Every structure is written in C-alpha cells, then in structure tokens.
Structure 1
C-alpha cells in the first residue's frame, strides 16, 4: 500500500470514528431528552386528579386546569363486558368498573392493567377515591373498600339491594376521620365508617336510590325514585329539608353555594334554594324527555343531557335556555364543564367537546358503541368507558 493510500485509509477510519462518536452522543442525548420528557409527563399524570364521580364532593361536574381540543386517542383498555361505570383518577391511575363484575385499576399513562378485583355482580357504580382507598358499589348489594395501590380488600359493607350510584365521602363528627356515603336500591342512604366499614347510620326513603349523594358544608343531598330531593346531616343522618321534585330522580344532584340542582324523569331540570326549601326555577326538555344525566354547574351555566338526544345548557341564574346541541342518540352520559368547553358522551357512539358559550361542536370522536359512561377530565385528558367494553383515553400527543 502506498503512502497516499495509507493516509486516505487512516483519514477514513478517523472520519468514521468521529461520525460514530457523534451518533452515539446524539443517541444518548435523545435518550436523555426522551427520559426527561417522560419523567415530566409522569409528574403531570401523578398530579392529575378526578377522585370523585363528577370531580368533587358537591358533584359539580367541572374540571380545572388547562384543556384544549388538540385531542388524540392515546390508548384503550379492553374489559370483559360493557362499561356503564364512570372513571375516577388519582395517583397516576384510572379506576373503573365493568359489567363482568370487575373493578379495574389502570395506568393513566398507557392504560395497562395494574390490578383487578372481582365482585359477585356487575360494577356499574363509579368508584370513589378517599383515604388511600378505592370504594365502589356493586349490583351484588355490597360496597367494597380496596387498597388503592394493591387492590387488596379492606372491608365489605352489605346493603339490602343493589348499588348503582357512586359513593361519596365527608368528614366525620370529630372533623378528622372520614365517612363513606352510599345509596342503595334498599331505599336507604348508608353512612359507613371509612376505617372499619361499620354502619354509622341509615336514612330510609320511600323508594330506590339510583344516584350519588352530593356533600357540602355538612349536608348530604340525594334524590331517588320517591321523587324527593332530600337534605340530611352528615352527623346522624337527620333530615334537614325535603323538596318534592314531581318525578323520580334517576341521576345525582349538585350542591353548589347553597343551591341544589337536580334532573328528573319527567324532563325537568330544577334549581333549589336549600335554605328556603323551595324550587327557584325549572327548565323542561323537549317533549318532556327524561333526564338520566347528572347536571354540570359552574358560575354561569347548568348543562345536562336528556333522552331527547340533546345536550341542554341553561343560565344558572334563572334557568333560561342558552343553547341546545343535537346528537343522534340519548344522552345519559353526564357532561363536564372544562372552562370554555363541555365534554360529554352520547348513545350515538360519540364523545363530543362543545363550545360552552355557543353549543357548537369543537371536536368529536366516533367510538361506534354507546357512551353512557360519564367522562373524567383532568390533566388535559378525557377518560371514558363505552358499551363495547373499552376504556378510552384522549389527550394531546406526548412530546
């Protein structure tokens, strides 16, 4: 080999080594960048919270934090059968029930199953996160309290009939411990000690209790199939007030700032002054179509879905109509107000994001199976179940 060829070969080897070194540095930097981005995303997901059906103890159906219509399908999870339950979120996990009797814990990041707990019947009730536990009712008539991290059973409380509404929580009489509140088809509201699972009191009504109880300032509000909207004390379950709604209340009420909002089977959306014990206004759906959806309430609006295939938005002040959005199926899913948007599912198989001011559709996704599950909205994400047995997660694509 001539001197010139040796020189060329040497320079070629040096160039290749430099290129390889640069490539390795690039790959390492990219790995570090991706790792840093994932760690940042995991921190955001860990802070994401929707611990109670409808987002908070008063069941307002409102979400805080950033939210945009830059939404993509991030993941799905397939359960065994249809999902009527609604998700709750906390600690980077999604908790939801399914009709094959299971309660699932999934990763909020990618939808992978972390644990599953089997009850004796379908879990249609949305779970509750409280005191490090996930609490959920089952059609077997029991309320189950599980360790939120492991799914291990802490206690099981037996009611007299099926439980299809979410439980809620409140501070106990001493102001430190917590109690669990759950309605049942045995026509009673049950107050359960969260640490032991023992009964503290029951409040008997005249018919089935379908929905979740709302809690605010030591008062528990709930409706039922006896057409009464009741207000009882957290301590002792003593009735403070009762308002005749005129027809049975299939969904959950809202307690917000001394007012209660409830929907009825007769197609009425009611606003109640709790202190005065009277209805201050009412709004009627088209042709008296029933409301099975729970309302969402912010400072200006009240939004609910009805079995006239419409989403109705009215003024909170006086109940006058702001807008109506037409879907192609009954709207049993309960909407969520997210700043300038409303998120809701429909039995037409779609998830919608609507403009809260105009009711115009800003985004939609066709699942292809009825969505009676109510969405959880947090961390810029939407999590919802569907009748195809899947849980769907939508949000911005990870960077």
Structure 2
C-alpha cells in the first residue's frame, strides 16, 4: 500500500521544529509548483544553525551569535532583535505571546513576541541546542549538562529536572502524560510529564541526536548506529528497526502512517510506521541531516538548496538551488517557502 496525503495550500503558523507538536512536518501546506523566484533575502548574522519558525506574519530565528530576530515576512525586514548572552544553535518555539530559545551558555529565554523584550531567563549548566516543547503552561527541554528540564512558562522557574545518561541534543516529543527524548548514551527515554520520573528507556547502538515522533502506539526515532527504530510507546519494546547506510541525525516527519527520515548516507527513507515496510528510498544529496517536511511533496533540504519528491513513489519533482549551504528544515506557508542558510542568509521563495 502506497502512502497518500491530503493536500492544502493554507497559510498556517509553524510554531516549532517540524511545524507542530505532532511532528507532522507541515503536512499539505505547499502547492505543487517549484519556487520560481526569491521574494526577498535578508542577511542576519554570520551563520544560522537552527530552523526558522513562523507566527502570523513574523518569522523568528536565531543566529550563531545568539541573536534572536523577528522578521516581518511581508517586507523581509527585522521588526526587532534580541541579543542573548551566548551562541545559539537551537530552533526557537512559539507559545502564545512568547518566543522561546536556548543558548550555548546554558540560558533559555522567553521573549515577548511583539516587543522583543525579555520576559525571563532560566539557567542550566550546559549548552541548550534543543527546542522547547510546551504543554499546559510548561516548557520541556534537554540540555548538554545531561539533565532534562521542565520550566513554568510564566516565570521560568524550574519545576523539575531529571538526570539522564548523556548529553541531550534531541528535541523531546510531548504526549498527554509522557515525554519521549533521545540521549547521547544511545537510549530513548520515556518520562512522566508530571514529575520527570523515568518510565522506561530503550537502548540503541549509538547516540540519539534525532528528535522522536509519535504516531499511534509507535515512537519513531533515528540513531547514529545507522538504524531507524519504532518502539512501543507504552513499554519501549522495539517493534521494528530499519537499516540505513550511515548515522541518522535527521528527525522523522510522520503522518498518515508514514515516517520519512533522512540519513547521513544521503538518502531519504519512507517507511510504514506499523510494519516497518520500506515504501521507497531515494538519494537527496551527499548527507541529509535536516528533517524533511511534507507539502504536496516531501521537501528535503540538501547541500545547496531544496529538492522535492513525490510522497507516493519517491520520484523527484523539482529542485531549487541557493547560493549558500543549507542545513536546517524549511517552513512552508501557502505558496511561500522560508529557509535559512549556514552563511547567515534568510530566504522567502515563491
């Protein structure tokens, strides 16, 4: 059975890594044609390592210098700039009136989305490369100090923190009662959302930098041991694993029973979430580390631009080159694509 996706060209907020808390990768938010021109281009820093996020008509993204930018997408100019105290590799998150992002000096900031003023800052003992995920007034994130944190979104007060077995560069998935997060010790952990207690952990062969996604009773995640795993969401039992040619830092996008994930072997893999059956495998570039996103096609970042593939077959539909090296996932909204490059450029393509 081939995967099928419902299509839409709706304009929609893109509030966190892979669009939303469900890691759907922006399912159906892109029309069929390839981008034909650059609507605007803006240089905001020396380098950008995280992905942009979109709230209304404002794009938020952080430069390597630790500067958070709010860019008015109607004109391609910065509305405000906030300077953090350390370098930044993280993708921001939007939660109501707050923009949240972490820095390498261990601070996590909450910034007012309209004014750019700091509302609070929470401190850790290691760099924060992960994105905050939020639910019911609480923000959750992992840190390179090996702790996983829950903070009150109104005050920034740490509600609890749980030590895990290694540095954490995986953005967590938040479910109703559980959290799922990968760790540098090669384990995927399930934590109780209320108090941080470890419910179970499942061992892989190498570090997990990929961010997990949940679909039904399966947790899907990639590992640096070359495998994509599907684990039982309740128990952590391995339901299947699928080999790729190299390690996996890309996070899976999931929807309609399909997980699409990139590998450092340069290939994209589309896999049935329940059975582990491979629908297709296609080469997207030399290395794929950014998460793919779902439009009417699967849109994937490759070294110098974007490439789109049919979701049903993996056949390449279009390619769009850019001047700079691209590492982070794009944002799809209506007929526009927003993305950033490692040389500090932000693009709006149409």
TM-score surpassing 0.5? yes
Give TM class, smaller chain.
0.7 to 0.9
Deviations 1:54-99 (A, max 9, x none): 221x3x3236867xxxxxxxxxxxxxxxxxxxxxxx6x6xxxxxxx
**What does residue 191 of structure 1 align with?**
110
**What does residue 385 of structure 1 align with?**
301
User: In 2, are the aligned partners of 1:62 and 1:297 still within 8 Å (CA)?
Assistant: no
TM-score by length of 2: 0.82
User: In 2, are the aligned partners of 1:224 and 1:250 still within 8 Å (CA)?
Assistant: yes
1:245 aligns with 2:167: no
SS at match of 1:196: coil
1:229-244 → structure 2 map (5 Å cutoff): 229-244=148-163
Distance 1:61 1:109 in 2: 24
1:25-104 → structure 2 map (5 Å cutoff): 44-47=8-11, 50-56=14-20, 58=21, 60-62=22-24
Gaps of 5+ in 1: 1-42, 67-89, 93-106, 172-177
The 1:393–1:113 alpha-carbon spacing in structure 2 relative to 1, beyond 3 Å, is: farther
Gaps of 5+ in 2: 1-6, 312-316, 319-350
**What does residue 78 of structure 2 align with?**
153
SS at match of 2:8: helix
Q: CA deviation at 1:189?
A: 0.5
Distance 1:284 1:274 in 2: 21
1:265 aligns with 2:202: no
Q: CA deviation at 1:50?
A: 4.7
Q: CA deviation at 1:259?
A: 1.2
**What does residue 57 of structure 2 align with?**
132
Distance 2:33 2:13 in 1: 13
**What does residue 140 of structure 2 align with?**
221
**What does residue 35 of structure 1 align with?**
none
Q: CA deviation at 1:276?
A: 3.6
Decide which structure has the larger Cα Rg and report it: 1
1:395 aligns with 2:310: yes
More strand by share: 2
Distance 1:375 1:349 in 2: 12
Q: CA deviation at 1:377?
A: 1.6
Distance 1:356 1:118 in 2: 39
Q: 1:142 aligns with which of 63, 67, 92?
A: 67
User: In 2, are the aligned partners of 1:159 and 1:184 still within 8 Å (CA)?
Assistant: yes
**What does residue 37 of structure 1 align with?**
none
1:357 aligns with 2:319: no
Instruction: Between 200-209 and 247-256, report the one with greater CA deviation.
Output: 247-256
1:232-381 → structure 2 map (5 Å cutoff): 232-286=151-205, 289-378=206-295, 380-381=296-297
Q: CA deviation at 1:381?
A: 2.2
Q: CA deviation at 1:47?
A: 4.6
Distance 1:360 1:159 in 2: 45
RMSD (Å), alpha carbons: 2.1
The 1:62–1:301 alpha-carbon spacing in structure 2 relative to 1, beyond 3 Å, is: farther
Length, aligned pairs only = 306
Deviations 1:299-352 (A, max 9, x none): 311111111111111010110001111000111000011122110011101111
TM-score by length of 1: 0.73
Tell which has more relative contact order, 1 or 2 (C-alpha 8 A, sep 6+): 2
Q: CA deviation at 1:375?
A: 1.1
